[in-house]
Structure formats: structure tokens, C-alpha cells
Amino acid sequence: MTPVLRPRGRAHASTARPTSRILGVVAGLLALATTVCAIVLIGGFVDPGPASTERLMGRSAASAGWAMILVVVLPLILAAVAGWRGSLRAGDLGALAGAAVIAAGLVQLNVLRDFSWLQPTAFVCGTALVALGLVIRIPRADRRPDDGEVPSERRAERPAR
């Protein structure tokens, strides 16, 4: 008699969705790169030139670096942490951070009035973050107000009458 081979049960999915982890990694790498750029500007390791410096707020590269940290790096860090942890807000934060990256590239183009490889790179990276954020976003109608569980799960927990 030959043994009968039965297929094993399905593997259980982890609590963090893979796409949110991808968003976390992408946002984290962008946050790291943007932080390095901001530190370079704040430390004065790069001279953008007198014409470009004249157009910057506060007429200094350091103020542009601090603005980059507040407007771009902080949303990227929030999106990275939320994505890595599999938070329900990871999609929203990823889309917001992507929009901040795109806006920073457009502001850089408008203020400096000089084309650089950074603008298309910011546009592509920001668009990727917005797309990832929208893909993993959970519709608000399916969220529970207290902890994010789906309402159908709440009904299953109630005792039968």
C-alpha cells in the first residue's frame, strides 16, 4: 500500500502586509538620502552659487536644509515607520510623503530656476510613494473607529442572543 500524500495547509500570512513593508523600505531609503542632502546644505559643504543662494528663503543654504528636514524628511520618516509596522495609516502617510517629495522637487525647480537631475528623480520617487500609498490604503468605510478592525469582525465577537 502506498502512502497518500496530502497537501499541507495554507501558510498563514503575517500581520504586516508585504506592500506596507515595501513602502516602509522605500520611504526609509528616501528619508536617509534626503537627510544627507539636508545635512550637506546645513553644514555648508555645498555652495549652490550666489544666484541660487539669493533666491533661497533666508538667503542661506542652511535655512533650505532645515526646511527640507521639516517638510520632506519628517513625513518620510513617519511613512517609513508606519509602513514597516504595518499600520493602517501607512498608505495615507506614504501618499502624503510622496506628495511632499514631488512638491520639494517642484519648489526646487521654481525657486532655483535651474534644472537638475534631482527634479525628475524627486518626481519619480514621489510618484512611486504616492502609488504605493494608494495601493495599500484601506478604505475608511471598512475601518473601526477604535482600533481599525473591520466591522464584520466586530459582529463575530458579539455573543448570540
In a domain, 76, yes or no: yes
Q: What is the pLDDT of residue 53?
A: 78
Has residue 98 been placed in a domain?
yes
pTM of the model: 0.72
pLDDT of residue 51: 79
Residue 117, SS3 per DSSP: coil
* 28 is a domain residue: yes
Amino acid 38: pLDDT? 92
The tens place of each residue's pLDDT in the chain, 161 residues long, gives: 666 655 565 555 555 445 788 999 999 999 999 999 999 989 988 877 787 778 777 788 888 889 999 999 999 999 999 999 988 899 999 999 999 999 998 888 888 777 888 889 989 999 999 999 998 875 555 555 555 545 555 555 555 55
The DSSP result for 25-79, as a single string, is: HHHHHHHHHHHHHHHHHHHT-S---HHHHHHSGGGSHHHHHHHHIIIIIHHHHHH
Residue 134 is part of which domain span?
18-138
Say how far apart CA 96 and CA 32 lie, in whole Å.
17
Query: Which of 76, 106, 89, 70 has its CA nearest to residue 143?
Result: 89
- Answer yes or no: is 149 within a domain: no
**Residue 161 placed within a domain:** no
8 domain-assigned:
no
Q: State how many domains the chain has.
A: 1
| Terminal Cα-to-Cα distance of the chain (whole angstroms) | 51
pLDDT score for 110: 83
Please tell me the number of Cα atoms within 13 Å of 51 on its side-chain side: 3
- Does a structural domain hold residue 150? no
Query: 132 in a domain, yes or no?
Result: yes
Q: How far is CA 136 from CA 58, 73, 93, 94, 127, in A?
A: 39, 21, 11, 9, 14
